[in-house]
Amino acid sequence: MRRATGSWDTESGGGPMSWEAALAAACGLYCGDCEHLDGRCGGCGRVQGKPFWAEEYGAPVCPLYGCCVEEKGLEHCGLCEDLPCETFASLRDPSLTDEQFERSLRERQESLTLRREVGTEAWLRRRGSGGR
């Protein structure tokens, strides 16, 4: 089982995690696709699971990041034997319709399964070439 190997060092601008890997969120999303990247948020790995929206919802850290990375020491939820757990299945972007939310859950679970099978770096390369 792969464990989290480090986080983005925001003070010096570097660290054990590459810029791309810092954008591969524990939940299966790719922060590089987010409209808030570099505006309101630096990406899950760079902000250590503390995106702008967590505070807006009264949480000190994203519940998925907290469980996966902080509590279990895993790189992403795809490495957890409990996927999909209740936290994964219930954490919802309130702007999504029910259909969009269900599609998002499926896509994130498929993404995490692939990351578990090929590793995050290969997953990122596939994303860059249009593959998932």
Tell me the β-bridge partners of 24: 30
Choose between 123 and 57: higher pLDDT.
123
Instruction: Give the whole-angstrom CA distance, residue 73 versus residue 79.
Output: 10
Q: What's the whole-model pTM score?
A: 0.80
Tell me the β-bridge partners of 9: 14
- 7-33 confidence digits (pLDDT tens): 433 333 444 557 788 899 999 999 999
Domain residue extents for the chain: 19-128
- 30-60 confidence digits (pLDDT tens): 999 999 888 888 888 889 999 988 887 788 9
